[in-house]
Structure 1
Amino acid sequence: METLYKPLEKSHGSGKLKIRPTVTVLLPAYNEAAIIADSLTILCDHMGTLNDKYQWDILIVNDGSKDETGRLADELAQSLPNISVHHNKVNQNLGGALRNGFKVAKGEYIVVLDIDLSFGPDHVEKLVDAAIDQDADIVIASPYMKGGKTTNIPFHRLLMSKVLNKIMRLTSGINIHSFTGMARAYKKEFLDTLNLKTSTYSINPEIIQKARIMRGRIVEVPGHLDWTLQLEYGENRTSSVSVFKGILNGLMSSFIFRPYGFFMMVGLLLLVASLYMIIWIFYHVYLIYPEIQASGDFFDDRFSEAVAAAYNKRPHAFLIGGFTFVTAILFLGLGFISLQKKRYFDELFHLNSNILKECRKAK
């Protein structure tokens, strides 16, 4: 295997000092024996055209594969340039594979791609250039923004992805279109401050959430999501995520962005419903009140009989209205409590991450 990084080259031909940035292309792989050779050959050929622009290497994280993925990756690392392999002894899911890859990667910029190249190799240059030009901490290749496109995506998968990403956009308040996509470029120095914990497919939304807390600059560029190769090898692959698991992870990620929003939304809807019934009760009490011939002339006697008459007419309005009102107050209370806890979490995470960053600098 060739040396991953050669000494930085400096050019004075144009009168300016030119230093090529270092880029690690990170490829998580679980049971990808059917496509790993073809994908790496295509990717290496493309990266070879960028030798004058970047110092690059490719890092494969074999996530405890049960097929020949690990052996093939090691063989390819010997025959193709600038490839290294990190082996997880057991499967740690996408989150674990990415977290281990982030630790091992040496580039100033880390570009994550699916090993099936559903986002083509040309995205590497597009993502890194955007990160450098816009001084971004994270750059996302989005097929759902203006200029992006999708090819050969099964309808149910595409619909699920669009709906979940739309929900996350609404609940998070972050103006990006792709929260779940994996094709991204990261500034490694910033990525190291995020202290990621998720071991599931929810790691991609987690990165966005924690990057926002850390005031990271997140940029989107149009991407092309193409499942042609994935569908071609689909019968021989076992790494696909189930639709149910994808929906569940997406909804949980949406909740984590703004948990108080969910509670308050439900609370407000219940409050509106309960107020409708309470207004109905008071309106009918108002209509019945003049007709009441109470045993006494006191207001409370006549009013109590008017309420009793309204109750006899529509008892379910009292029961459902009261229960709905109490439930609405409970949900609104949970919303305010979760809002307070979310703010505490954000402040503590920001403080701890900055302390961690300073400790690493001190070393």
Structure 2
Amino acid sequence: MKLSIVIPAYNEEESITETIDSIEEAFSKVNLDHEIIIVNDNSKDNTLQVLERLAQKYPTVKYETNLGPNGFGYAVRYGLDRFTGDCVAVMMADLSDSPYDLIRYYTTMVEGNYDCVFGSRFMKGGKVIDYPFVKKIINRVANAIIRIVMQIKYNDTTNAFKLYKKEVIEGVKPILSPHFNLTIELPLKAIIRGYSYTVIPNSWTNRKYGESKLKIKEMGSRYFFILVYCFVEKYFSRGDFKKL
């Protein structure tokens, strides 16, 4: 089963090389057919030039430039329209996600024949390293609200780092989110629409370089919109979108 990795990248010239090197080093230890699709989200630094070098170095690396509209969700959607694998993971360009966790995701999916594998940084075995305190408080409150509203047990829905089979991505379309609210749209739709999933612990490490692209003040209403959208689908669509 071929694994695709979609990585959105906006002004990540300092981080992206280490991220790709780490993925390829981890994957060199296992026999796993894969591709890495990096979506340059119209970066204003030298990200594009760095991607050109990485594509020459690694046959598995492809890159595309999303000229617009731009934003985390748009960039991920751009990649999700272009991957060729049987399953696809969304990873961050700043090496906050562990490639070894991704190998565990993949192994779990294959062995359990799950449609989705979700990570949780806040269950037994999960960990966060250098997580900003205020951001962590907001994260836990937001995830608690999502759990209560959607009546699910999963406690890290906002975690972008997840693995989906190809048919799940097709099954949750159309994807609406232009920004980081995509991180909750994909898993909530997958759960609502009847795809099987499991949750395993994963780690998260704060970025070494640059600054986070998540602007909390700008995202509250966008997360709320997607949450309401998914709530309406779950309780009022009469299962019209459910997996057959």
TM-score higher than 0.5 here?
yes
Structure 1 residue 81: deviation in Å? 3.3
Partner residue in 1 for 2:214:
241
Among the aligned pairs, what percent are the same residue? 25
The structure-2 alpha-carbon separation of the partners of 1:346 and 1:66, relative to structure 1 and needing over 3 Å to count, comes to farther
Structure 1 residue 208: deviation in Å? 2.1
8 A Cα contact 2:55 2:63, kept in partner: yes
SS in 1 for 2:195: coil
The structure-2 alpha-carbon separation of the partners of 1:168 and 1:343, relative to structure 1 and needing over 3 Å to count, comes to closer
SS in 2 for 1:59: strand
Partner residue in 1 for 2:199:
220
8 A Cα contact 2:115 2:197, kept in partner: yes
Structure 1 ranges of 4+ moved more than 2 A? 245-259, 341-350
8 A Cα contact 1:144 1:162, kept in partner: no
Deviations 1:107-145 (A, max 9, x none): 111121111111111111111111112221111111012
Match of 1:46 among 16, 26, 44: 26
Kindly indicate whether residue 9 of structure 2 is the aligned counterpart of residue 117 of structure 1. no
Partner residue in 2 for 1:275:
none
Structure 1 or 2, whichever has the larger Rg, is: 1
In structure 2, distance between residues paired with 1:75 and 1:151: 30
8 A Cα contact 2:189 2:230, kept in partner: no
Partner residue in 2 for 1:154:
132
In structure 2, distance between residues paired with 1:36 and 1:177: 29
Structure 1 residue 343: deviation in Å? 4.3
Partner residue in 2 for 1:345:
237
Partner residue in 1 for 2:13:
33
Q: Identify unmatched segments of 5+ residues in structure 1.
A: 1-20, 260-340, 355-363
Instruction: Please list, as runs of the form range in 1=range in 2, the aligned pairs for 1:1-363 lying within 5 A after superposition.
Output: 21-50=1-30, 52=31, 54-195=32-173, 196-227=175-206, 230=207, 232-234=208-210, 237=211, 239-258=212-231, 343-345=235-237, 347-350=239-242
8 A Cα contact 2:15 2:95, kept in partner: no
8 A Cα contact 1:44 1:81, kept in partner: no
In structure 2, distance between residues paired with 1:146 and 1:123: 14
8 A Cα contact 1:29 1:62, kept in partner: yes
The structure-2 alpha-carbon separation of the partners of 1:258 and 1:70, relative to structure 1 and needing over 3 Å to count, comes to same
Structure 1 residue 246: deviation in Å? 3.6
Q: Identify unmatched segments of 5+ residues in structure 2.
A: none
In structure 2, distance between residues paired with 1:95 and 1:226: 21
8 A Cα contact 1:95 1:198, kept in partner: yes
Task: Give the letter for the 1:226 counterpart.
Answer: T
In structure 2, distance between residues paired with 1:221 and 1:84: 28
Deviations 1:144-172 (A, max 9, x none): 12221111001001111111011101111
In structure 2, distance between residues paired with 1:346 and 1:76: 47
Task: Give the letter for the 2:10 counterpart.
Answer: Y
In structure 1, distance between residues paired with 2:90 and 2:110: 16
RMSD: 2.0
8 A Cα contact 2:117 2:197, kept in partner: yes
The structure-2 alpha-carbon separation of the partners of 1:249 and 1:154, relative to structure 1 and needing over 3 Å to count, comes to same
Task: Give the letter for the 1:349 counterpart.
Answer: F
In structure 2, distance between residues paired with 1:164 and 1:89: 31
Aligned pairs, how many? 243
In structure 2, distance between residues paired with 1:164 and 1:117: 23
The structure-2 alpha-carbon separation of the partners of 1:343 and 1:173, relative to structure 1 and needing over 3 Å to count, comes to closer
SS in 2 for 1:44: helix
SS in 1 for 2:3: strand
8 A Cα contact 1:171 1:257, kept in partner: no
